[in-house]
Amino acid sequence: MTTLSIFDQQDPETPHTVTRDPAEIRRRLSEQGVRFEQWPTQALPQDADQQQILSAYADEVSRLKSECGFQTADVVSLSADHPDKAAFRQKFLDEHTHSEDEVRFFVRGEGLFYLHFDDQVYAVLCQQNDLISVPDGTRHWFDMGPAPEFTCIRLFSNPDGWVARFTGSGIATELPRYEQLAGAAS
């Protein structure tokens, strides 16, 4: 279940707020400039390729491109049997920023976005049908867990795609990881 857990940076082990209410999640994220939506499920075969997925969600993707100026969209998938899953996980676990919004729509599976605002960290467990748009310049990181299972549509303003600037902060190591937070949400 989609879950928002909010931590104080001074007490990074225990969240002071936890909600699974989509309207409350949307409200709290919106206060921080983060877009959160839940799109309707589209019927797709289990082995749907990028073109089938983008076609199924063409109206939603087109709307976001028009509203936000995105230039490209693609699909990324990762499964627990991928031989480089540990390296992929590690790549996203350090706090970083981007010069454009980071937009992900979860077609299937789940992942955990951590968003760092002042002395608060918002951990958003996104699941199937969730869209999150992290504003450019927002300090954040992503944890896909040790056995990732997800397919996401990504939208980019920069045709070159994902470019991260790492902050050098160690805060990502101080908060509970996917294993603790996703397990607690089940």
Residue 96 annotated as part of some ligand binding site: yes
Backbone angles phi, psi at 34, to 5 degrees: -95, 130
b/e map 70-82, b = 16+ CB within 10 Å: beebebebbeeee
Distances in whole angstroms, Cα of residue 141 to Cα of each of 58, 63, 64, 87, 89: 27, 26, 23, 15, 10
Please return the burial class of 177, using the count of CB atoms within 10 Å of its CB with bins 0-12, 13-18 and 19+: middle
Q: Do 151 and 108 touch, CB atoms closer than 8 A?
A: yes
CB atoms within 10 A of CB 19: 16
Name the residue with tokens 């409200």.
Answer: 27
Q: How many CB atoms lie within 10 A of CB 88?
A: 13
Q: Is 98 annotated as a binding residue?
A: yes
Annotated binding residues for Fe(2+): 96, 98, 102, 140
Annotated binding residues: 96, 98, 102, 140
Annotated binding residues for Ni(2+): 96, 98, 102, 140
